[in-house]
Amino acid sequence: MNRRTAIQNLGYLTGGTLFLPFACQEIGVPIYSNLPLMNKKEQALIGHISLVLLPDDLQSFPAPESRQHFVLTMINDCSDAKQIATFVGGFEAFQWALSPTQIINFIELTDQEQMDFLSNQFEQDTIIRDFLNVIKKYSLLHFETTEAYMTQYLKFEFIPGRFMGKVAV
């Protein structure tokens, strides 16, 4: 083996060992500053609830970020301490209303059972309804701010001042 090949192989070996710790790490869970105790499972549950309330159509209405991330970011950034406390309390009450012993998981229910449970919660005037209304509001905002919705249905133009050329006045 010549010297050039030995140095090249040594470089590959060194580079591989340096990048090995980064390749083996799991993708981290986003941590929201105002929702620090929300783990990955709870974030996924909120994302699933938002998808049950308003189904996602990524083919017709692609969005730059997932609805789960959008909803949690809006709750984190646009809510004051009282609203966040109400949201967290509603989330805990939602989990408690579903199953006091935490045996039943909302994601494991059938689609019809999920819709029945949510419709029952919307009919009652509780903190759970306030929690669901927040998720519904931000899910709808996520849909209404997609580029396809704004340009196709609202006829919104992102660049103002369209030049019409010669137009009779």
Q: What is the 3-state secondary structure (H, E, C) of the chain?
A: CCHHHHHHHHHHHHHHHHHHHHHCCCCCCCCECCECCCCHHHHHHHHHHHHHHCCCCCCCCCCCCCHHHHHHHHHHHHCCHHHHHHHHHHHHHHHHHHCCCCCCCHHHCCHHHHHHHHHHHHHCCCHHHHHHHHHHHHHHHHHHCCHHHHHHCCCCCCCCCCCCCCCCC
Nearest to 58 by CA among 127, 146, 159, 162: 146
Q: What is the C-alpha to C-alpha distance for residues 73 and 81, in angstroms, rounded to an integer?
A: 15
Q: What is the pLDDT of residue 46?
A: 95
Domain range enclosing 80: 40-152
Average pLDDT, the chain: 88
Closest by CA to 59, choosing from 158, 148, 157, 153, is: 148
Specify if 128 maps to a domain. Answer: yes
pLDDT in tens, 93-148: 999 998 887 778 888 899 999 999 999 999 999 999 999 999 999 999 999 999 89
Q: For residue 98, what are its two tokens?
A: 């579903």
Q: What is the pLDDT of residue 119?
A: 94
CA distance 71 to 133: 12
> Is 143 within the bounds of a domain?
yes
Q: CB-based burial of residue 149 (10 Å sphere; 0-12 exposed, 13-18 middle, 19+ buried)?
A: middle
In this prediction, residue 165 carries a pLDDT of 76
Q: What are phi and psi of 32, to 5 degrees?
A: -95, 130
Given a cut of 80, whether residue 161 has pLDDT beyond it is no
Is 21 among the domain residues?
no
pTM of model > 0.85 = no
Q: Check residue 25 and give its pLDDT.
A: 62
Does 5 reside within a domain? no
Structural domains counted in the chain: 1
Please indicate, yes or no, if residue 148 is contained in any of the structural domains: yes
Answer yes or no: is 49 within a domain.
yes
Q: Has residue 55 been placed in a domain?
A: yes
**Is 110 inside a domain boundary?**
yes
